[in-house]
Amino acid sequence: MTTSIIKIMSQRGFLYSLQLIDSQIDKILDRINVINTRIQDKELVTNAQFVKNEAEQKATKKQSEIRKLEDQINSIVYKKKESEKELYGGKIKNPKELQLLQEEISSLKNRISQLEDELFNLMIENETLEHELQAAETNLLKITTDKAAEVADLESEKTQLLTELNVLKIEEEPIQAHIDSDLLNKYQKLRISKNRLAVVIVEENACSGCGNSLTLAELQKIKSPIDEYYCPVCKRILYYG
C-alpha cells in the first residue's frame, strides 16, 4: 500500500482493509484447527488396534487350549503304553488282573479318540482365528500407514499456512497503526459479536451484511469521510468501496 493511498484513505477504509486481512487470517486459523483435529484423531488406528488385540487374545487363548489338550492326550497315550507293557510283559498271570488291564487300555483308547476329535475341532477353530488375526494385522498396518501419510500431508499444509499467516500479520501491522485506537477497539468487539464480520461494504445501495436497503441520505453519509457509520439494522460498520 503506497504512502499517498494511506494518506487519503478514511478510517473506515483502513478498517475494511483490515477486515479483508482478518478474514483471510480467520480462514487460515480455522483450517489449522481442522488440521490439528485431524492429526490428533487416532480413532481409526485405535479401533483397528483394538480389533487386532482382541483377535490376538482369542488366538492365544485357543492355542493355549490346544497345548493343554495335547499334553492331556500325550499323558493318556503314555499311560496306555505303560498299561500295554504290563499286559504283554508276562509278569501278570492273574486272568482277572489281565482283564482289568485290557478294559483299562480300551477305555484309554476311547478317551484318546475323543480327545483327538476335540483337538481336531480346536485346530479348525484356531485356523479360523489365525486368519482373523492376519486380517486384523493387515488392516492395522494399512490404517497406520494411511494415517502416517495423511499426517505428513497435513503437517506440510500446516507449515505453509503458518507461513501465510505470518505474512498476513505483517501486512496488517501498518494498517492497524493508521486506525484510531478507540475505533480499532470497537472493530475488535464487533468482530466478536458479529460473527467476525465487523465491516461490510455497500452493494446495490444495501448493506452486504444483512441486506438492509439504504436511503440516499444514508448513502451520502457513508460516502463521506466520517470515521464511523453503522448499518441501522445489523450495526456493522458500513464502507462504500
Distance of CA 182 to the CA centre of its chain: 43
Using left for φ > 0, alpha for ψ between -120 and 50, and beta otherwise, residue 214 falls in beta
C-alpha cell at 127: 485356523
Which burial class, exposed, middle or buried, applies to 197 when counting CB atoms under 10 A from its CB (0-12, 13-18, 19+)? middle
Domain boundaries for CATH 1.10.287 within the chain: 42-175
- Residue 54 and residue 47: Cα distance in Å, rounded? 11
The confidence score (pLDDT) of residue 225 equals 85
The confidence score (pLDDT) of residue 226 equals 86
CATH number of 42-175: 1.10.287
The single-letter DSSP state of residue 236 is: P
Strands 237-239 and 206-207, bridge-based pairing: unpaired
Cβ proximity of 50 and 136 under 8 Å: no
Residues 6+ apart with CB under 8 A from 231: 200, 207, 209, 210, 212, 237, 238
Number of helical (H) and strand (E) elements in the chain, helices listed first? 6, 3
- Global pTM value: 0.78
C-alpha cell at 126: 484356531
The confidence score (pLDDT) of residue 4 equals 36
Compute mean pLDDT per 10 residues along the chain, 241 residues long, and list them: 46 94 97 98 97 98 97 97 90 89 95 97 97 98 98 98 98 95 96 96 96 95 90 95 78
